[in-house]
Structure 1
Amino acid sequence: ALMLGAVGIQVGTRFVVADESNAHDNFKERIIKAKDIDTVLTGESTGHPVRVLRNKLTKEYLKVEKEEASKANPDWDKLEALGSGALRRAVVEGNLDTGSFMAGQIAGLVDKRETVSEIIQSYMTECKETIAARASEWL
């Protein structure tokens, strides 16, 4: 039997809430309080998709993106203007309305702050448990 599996993991969202992260507390709290439907994909029509937590900025961004995407000659500069400085507003300033709070779909499952060491240790433990549980498939 062939077993397909992950060759890596993308874990940025969980590290945003790490004790060592210098992200604004508002950013960390938004992730911790997020539900499974609280992220949205922006920028799909521009070829530069970014998953973020929903807020006033994403609502406006998606509205403008839809309007421009329907035009023969879209003015993507409008989106550029909306997004300009938005990551800084989230990470540094903690602006809940106009910040771009980048987060993966996993945000709804991240429910506590931990140290980087604790996060890595939990991944290692899960990896070891998975390998042990499935080892017989490789023998």
Structure 2
Amino acid sequence: IADGRQAAAAFALGACGIQVGTCLLASEECPIHPNYKQAILKAKDTDTVVTGRSIGGPVRILKNKMAREYLALEKRGATLDELEHLTLGGLRRAVLEGDVETGSVMSGQVAGMLHEIRPVAEIFRDLYESGIARTKATAAEWSDAE
């Protein structure tokens, strides 16, 4: 979830909570490497892929060299050991070293909606305020329709 419209939709559909992880990666307070943050800000909604399905541990990451190699290994039926060897230290490389090519750059599809680094308080305030506004607007539309 990256904005109030999505939050309002999730709650309207019966959710009792939402996940906003990728938004928080693009916050001033998040201690990840600046390269990781910039990769998220540059990403489009089609720039993520799910790896790990073959081993029952799906993870959504940005498409990069490591992701392409991982998917090729999965496609040919690689063993768990082969897959783990490729990804060993990948998250550390991305988060701490800023290696966005061979590191594991975890990100949701909402990365395509993020265009700037913002304070966490502002991210949550916008989610809350725009979510409430969208909920009120939807309620008004429904009562006008009656």
Residue type matched to 1:67 in 2?
A: R
Residue type matched to 2:30 in 1?
A: S
Does residue 1:132 correspond to 2:136, yes or no?
yes
From 68, 73, 82, the counterpart of 2:86 = 82
Structure 1 residues 88-128: Cα deviation after superposition (integer angstroms, max 9, x where no partner): 00000001221100000111111111000000000111121
Residue type matched to 1:112 in 2?
A: E
Q: Which residue of 2 aligns with 1:63?
A: 72
Greater helix content = 2
* Normalised TM-score (structure 2): 0.83
From 92, 105, 120, the counterpart of 1:101 = 105
Residue type matched to 2:13 in 1?
A: L
Q: Which residue of 2 aligns with 1:53?
A: 62
Unmatched 5+ residue regions in structure 2?
1-11
Q: Percent identity?
A: 47
Residue type matched to 2:39 in 1?
A: R
- Matched residue of 1:111: which SS? coil
Q: Which residue of 1 aligns with 2:30?
A: 21
* Normalised TM-score (structure 1): 0.87
- Matched residue of 2:107: which SS? coil
In the aligned structure 2, how far is the partner of 1:57 from the partner of 1:22?
22
The alpha carbon displacement at 1:6 in A equals 3.5
In the aligned structure 2, how far is the partner of 1:111 from the partner of 1:8?
24
Unmatched 5+ residue regions in structure 1?
69-73
CA RMSD of superposed structures (Å): 1.6
In the aligned structure 2, how far is the partner of 1:5 from the partner of 1:32?
30
Q: Number of aligned pairs?
A: 131
- Matched residue of 2:135: which SS? helix
Residue type matched to 2:55 in 1?
A: T
